[in-house]
Amino acid sequence: MKLAKKVAVVTGAARGIGRATVERLLAEGARVVVSDIDADRLANTVLELDAGETVHAVVADVAKKSDVDRLVAAAVSHFGTIDIMVNNAGIAPVVDFLDVTEELLGRVLDINLKGAFYGAQAAGRQMIAQGKPGVIINMSSINSGLANPNVAPYAISKGGMNQVTSTAAVAFAPHNIRVVGVGPGTIMTEMVAGAFVNSAGNNAILSRTPLGRYGEASEIAAVVAFLASDDASYMTGETVYVDGGRRVLNYVVPVRS
Ligand SMILES: NC(=O)c1ccc[n+]([C@@H]2O[C@H](COP(=O)([O-])OP(=O)(O)OC[C@H]3O[C@@H](n4cnc5c(N)ncnc54)[C@H](O)[C@@H]3O)[C@@H](O)[C@H]2O)c1
């Protein structure tokens, strides 16, 4: 039990990677505040988790700073402290570069980028006030550094998120608060099972994945648990890629005649 007595907050926890992360943090002994914008799905997830008093649910929209501040405050009032903040909530609309509207760009940046910033700020402020170590984990993506023109707002938001990670890491290091990122490859969640895979094509993704398969949400959750634990006590500022080898692949392409 790597995380006994720790209190964690996970956003976007109603399904997918967020939910798998909650399950893993609970298994490691943490108490978890589960949060999502989808109240019905969140309530259902809490029922299915069947984790009694070790779970507390808070509906919040990470695009709103006031909601994120309220979420961190709720964790403290319910469990007395916050040790781990996982900024996981995100959206990934698939739209051609030239078709991205002002509204869509704003929404993606509000949730994925500003949401992570608000989460880091609220959790960091509280952790500093508590005067004990803490860990903030941002759910990035391989798209933070790869160029897929069908998900430009998403890629831009995750690139910016990596800088939330590195700047917050330096800001909070004097307080022994670590800030790290996790960059999944393609994980078969509802986000990916829909438009994402269809637009990219199964083969387009798998032919770029040396391990030859999609990842499981539990394989991301395992890395989150490691990063949240003292096993990662000297890691801060970095984003760790968990992608079946996709990001480092540098292989041949057909030569144009
Ligand atoms: N699945 C992948 O292949 C993959 C790859 C790289 C990164 N990621 C990242 O992992 C995270 C989780 O992805 P997933 O695949 O589990 O997605 P998902 O769509 O299955 O789950 C995302 C959750 O976030 C919630 N959410 C959306 N907007 C929100 C908001 N404004 N406030 C609070 N909650 C909100 C949704 O209701 C949902 O429960 C995202 O940040 C995503 O970008 C996923």
User: What is the model's pLDDT at position 192?
Assistant: 83
Binding site membership of 184 for ligand 1 (Cβ less than 6 Å): yes
Using CB atoms within 10 Å of the CB of residue 241, give its burial: 0 to 12 exposed, 13 to 18 middle, 19+ buried: buried
Largest Cα–Cα separation, the chain: 66
Q: Is the pLDDT of residue 198 over 90?
A: no
Output the CA 122–ligand 1 centroid distance in Å: 20
CB 197 within 8 A of CB 94: no
The token pair that represents 138 in the structure block: 């941002």
User: What is the model's pLDDT at position 133?
Assistant: 98
Domains of the chain listed by start with CATH number: 7-242 (3.40.50.720)
Mean pLDDT of the chain: 95
pTM above 0.85, yes or no: yes
DSSP letter for 6, please: -
Test site for ligand 1: of 189, 197, 211, 239, most ligand atoms within 8 A of the Cβ: 189
Binding site membership of 110 for ligand 1 (Cβ less than 6 Å): no
112-163 pLDDT per residue, tens = 999 999 999 999 999 999 999 999 999 999 999 999 999 999 999 999 999 9
Binding site membership of 242 for ligand 1 (Cβ less than 6 Å): no
Average of per-residue pLDDT across 99-103: 98
Test site for ligand 1: of 9, 11, 15, 17, most ligand atoms within 8 A of the Cβ: 17
Which atom of ligand 1 approaches the CA of 89 most closely?
24
Q: Is the pLDDT of residue 48 over 80?
A: yes
pLDDT band at 256 (very low <50, low <70, confident <90, very high): confident
DSSP letter for 151, please: B
Q: How far apart are CA 123 and CA 232, in angstroms?
A: 19
Which backbone phi and psi does 96 adopt, to 5 degrees? Answer: -60, 145
Torsion angle (degrees, nearest 10) of CA 42, 183, 116, 232: 100
